[in-house]
Amino acid sequence: MALIADNPADRARQMLALSERLTDLIETDTALMRARQALDEGEGAEEKQRLVNAYRLEMARIRDDRSLIADAPEDARAALRAGTERLNAALARHEATLGALKTLTEGLVQAMAEEVTRQKGGGGVYGATGAPSARFGPAPVALNRTA
């Protein structure tokens, strides 16, 4: 979905509005993740996906044809640069939060698997045939979400 702009100034204004809305959505998601709350999977997620696609397509068009924005007033281009920098900063914070949550989740899963193995007596004892008599490493675990 490409933007329909009357002129470069209009395109810059629309791109700024798009980047500001994306920044708001990403900051909201980041705040929800930091608060350990569920992300919006409904209309908000669909809106974000549409806006991300529109932004990506329009930035590619501008990259390929600089004249789409080159004649915009300097203040409009400066505002768009600042908006893009805010969006990139929000994306960096979002990425860092996702990375921290991934590390935390993987650590929890690993700790649970090790505890299950420990409780099942998964020591490294070899039998008479030279093969391990007990399972090594984490055992599969099924968790009940209602517990």
Predicted pLDDT of residue 136: 54
Q: Which of 36-45, 65-74, 93-102 has the lowest mean pLDDT?
A: 36-45
- Please check the confidence at residue 122 and state whether its pLDDT lies above 80: no
Predicted pLDDT of residue 118: 76
pLDDT digits (tens, 9 = 90+) for 51-80: 999 999 999 998 999 888 989 999 999 999
Return the domain boundaries, the chain. 8-105
The contacts found for 112-119 with CB under 8 angstroms, 24 or more apart, are: 112/141, 113/138, 113/139, 113/141, 114/138, 116/141
In percent, the amount of the chain with pLDDT more than 70 equals 83
Predicted pLDDT of residue 3: 75
- 6: CB partners within 8 A, 6+ apart: none
